[in-house]
Structure 1
Amino acid sequence: MKDLWISNSYAKINLGLNVLERLENGYHTIETGFCFIEWADRFEVTPSSRNSLTMSDEKIPIDDTNLIVKAIKLLEAEAGLKDQFHIKVEKNIPAGAGLGGGSSNAATTLRMINKIANLGLETSQLIEFGKKLGADVPFFIEGQAGFATGLGTEIEPLDLQTDAWVVTVFPGIPSSTPEAYQYCEPNAEPEFSLKTVLLEEDVEEWQYLVINDLEAAVFPRIELVGNIKDQFYEFGASYASMSGSGSSVFGIYEQDFVAIHAYDSFRKLGFEANLTRPKFSPDLGIYKKQIDTY
Structure 2
Amino acid sequence: MSNKLWIAESFGKINLGLHVLERLPTGYHRIETGFAFIEWSDRFEVQEAEAFDLVMKESDIPADGTNLITLAYDAFDTYVGLKTQYRFEVTKNIPAGAGLGGGSSNAALTFRMLNKMEGAGLSDNDMVDLCRDLGADIPFFIHGKPGVGTGIGQEIEHLDIQPDAWIVTIYPGFESSTAEAYRNCEPNPEPDFSIKGVLEEEPIEEWQVLLQNNLEPAVIPRHEMIGNIKDQLVDFGADYAAMSGSGSTVFGIFEQDFVAINAYESFHNLGFQTNLTRPKFKPDHGIYIKD
State the TM bucket, normalised to the shorter chain.
over 0.9
Matched, 1:124 2:151: no
Q: CA deviation at 1:127?
A: 1.3
Which residue number in structure 2 is paired with residue 224 of structure 1?
225
Give CA deviations for 1:19-73 in whole Å, capped at 9, x if unaligned.
0000112110100000100000000000000001000134101111111000010
For residues 81 and 180 of structure 1, what CA distance do their matches in structure 2 show?
38
For residues 143 and 121 of structure 1, what CA distance do their matches in structure 2 show?
15
Contact kept in structure 1, 2:75 and 2:131, CA below 8 Å:
no
Matched, 1:265 2:277: no
**Partner secondary structure for residue 92 of structure 1:** coil
For residues 58 and 267 of structure 1, what CA distance do their matches in structure 2 show?
20
Which residue number in structure 1 is paired with residue 153 of structure 2?
152
Map residues 102-181 of structure 1 onto 2, 5 A cutoff. 102-181=103-182
Q: Quick one: which amino acid aligns to residue 46 of structure 2?
A: V
Give CA deviations for 1:60-102 in whole Å, capped at 9, x if unaligned.
0111111100001001110122310000000000001000000
Which residue number in structure 2 is paired with residue 287 of structure 1?
288
For residues 45 and 100 of structure 1, what CA distance do their matches in structure 2 show?
21
**Partner secondary structure for residue 2 of structure 1:** coil
Matched, 1:14 2:15: yes
For residues 92 and 76 of structure 1, what CA distance do their matches in structure 2 show?
27
Higher mean C-alpha displacement, 230-239 vs 129-138: 129-138
Which residue number in structure 1 is paired with residue 248 of structure 2?
247
Which residue number in structure 1 is paired with residue 237 of structure 2?
236
**Partner secondary structure for residue 174 of structure 1:** coil
**Partner secondary structure for residue 191 of structure 1:** coil
Q: CA deviation at 1:119?
A: 1.3
Map residues 3-152 of structure 1 onto 2, 5 A cutoff. 3-152=4-153
What is the Cα-based RMSD across aligned positions, in Å?
A: 0.8
Runs of 4 or more, structure 1, over 4 Å off, are none
For residues 60 and 8 of structure 2, what CA distance do their matches in structure 1 show?
22
Contact kept in structure 2, 1:81 and 1:119, CA below 8 Å:
no
**Partner secondary structure for residue 109 of structure 1:** helix
For residues 274 and 89 of structure 1, what CA distance do their matches in structure 2 show?
19
For residues 275 and 249 of structure 1, what CA distance do their matches in structure 2 show?
12
For residues 203 and 263 of structure 1, what CA distance do their matches in structure 2 show?
19
For residues 12 and 193 of structure 1, what CA distance do their matches in structure 2 show?
20
Contact kept in structure 1, 2:20 and 2:189, CA below 8 Å:
yes
Contact kept in structure 1, 2:59 and 2:92, CA below 8 Å:
no
Give CA deviations for 1:243-270 in whole Å, capped at 9, x if unaligned.
0000000000001000000000000111
Which ranges in structure 2 are unaligned for 5 or more consecutive residues? none
Which ranges in structure 1 are unaligned for 5 or more consecutive residues? none
Contact kept in structure 2, 1:229 and 1:249, CA below 8 Å:
yes
Q: Quick one: which amino acid aligns to residue 55 of structure 1?
A: M
Higher mean C-alpha displacement, 125-134 vs 270-279: 125-134
For residues 82 and 266 of structure 1, what CA distance do their matches in structure 2 show?
47
Contact kept in structure 2, 1:67 and 1:133, CA below 8 Å:
yes
- Fraction of identical pairs, as percent: 61
**Partner secondary structure for residue 32 of structure 1:** strand
Q: CA deviation at 1:192?
A: 0.9
Q: TM-score, normalised by structure 1?
A: 0.97
For residues 120 and 284 of structure 1, what CA distance do their matches in structure 2 show?
16
Residue 156 to residue 226, structure 1, CA distance change in 2 (3 Å): same
For residues 129 and 16 of structure 1, what CA distance do their matches in structure 2 show?
28
